[in-house]
Amino acid sequence: MSETHLYQLRPRGQSRSAAETGFTPIAAVDREHSDWGGYGPIKRFLLGTTLEEESYYGFLPPDFQPLTGLDAAAVRGLIEPRAGAADVISVSPFFDQMALYLNIVEQTLGSCARGHEAIRECAALVAPEFRVDRDVMTSLDTIFRNCFVAKPAFWAEWLRHAELISGRARDAGTSLGRALHGAASAPTEAALLESLVMDQVASLILWSQPQWIVSACDPMRLPLSRAPIAALIGMADLIVLDALKIAYARSGADQYLATFQQLRNRIAERLASTRAARNG
């Protein structure tokens, strides 16, 4: 029988009693240095704990409840009907970001001004055949901020790739190390870039390794992102964009991808006109 173990990364200085009820706090995360988006505490837990093969484990970000509006009881309620057959269960928010971008790598590239080479190199370490300008991810397999639970087998694969990325990036003699640290002019900027890089890992594994069974809790029931564009695009357009990507992923028919790009271009033109009118 599977059980669900919900852990939450705890910011340094936050008392255990301040953690949301029902989540088990684990090792502190420095507010200024991201520790690779929680990679350090997660690694220590996975290597130092005897895991139950059929149980689910989640390591949710410190701000999970504000991001999703979900407490531990709500998360368990979403997971329970999906438990058993799935290897990974997503409780990820940000449907707007899932729908609007081709994939999480394109979304990451669009969210930061620097470090594009590092982002691409890290993606290639996880999924060497992935093409950021062609391959799609959808609301069915995109996960932001490690908002998911998974069985130990998937976490072992996640850890393998996370260690590869971290090891390469921390070595200033590697191309990835030079790209990452060359893009970061301050510790806080480096921490942000490291978090963005690690945020891609779960989605890229799901894209590149079809043996994993993933079940996504409906992200349309969760909050959209805080990106300004989220408030300017209607839900109907987002649903169509996501549906076109799903159709392309399942059929491989180029017309779906072409229609997605055409619709996205029209949305961009509409938004540009709206902004120009406001500024005028």
Q: What residue ranges do the domains of the chain occupy?
A: 4-223, 232-280
pLDDT per residue as tens digits for the range 142-198: 999 999 999 999 999 999 999 999 888 777 777 777 766 665 555 566 677 778 889
What are the phi and psi torsion angles at 60 (to 5°)? -85, 150
How far apart (Å, rounded) are the C-alpha atoms in residues 217 and 200? Answer: 19
Q: What is the pLDDT of residue 136?
A: 98
- For residue 136, give Cα distances in angstroms to 9, 64, 133, 151, 234: 30, 26, 9, 25, 21
The candidate with the shortest Cα–Cα distance to 103, out of 146, 148, 129, 138, is 138
Q: Place 32 in a pLDDT band, splitting at 50, 70 and 90.
A: very low
Helix (H) or strand (E) holding 8: strand 4-11
What are the phi and psi torsion angles at 178 (to 5°)? -65, -40
Beta bridge partners of 26: 9
Helix (H) or strand (E) holding 214: strand 214-216
- pTM for the full predicted model: 0.91
Using DSSP, state whether 33 is helix, strand or coil. Answer: coil
For the chain, give the mean pLDDT: 88
Helix (H) or strand (E) holding 150: strand 148-150
How far apart (Å, rounded) are the C-alpha atoms in residues 267 and 132? Answer: 20
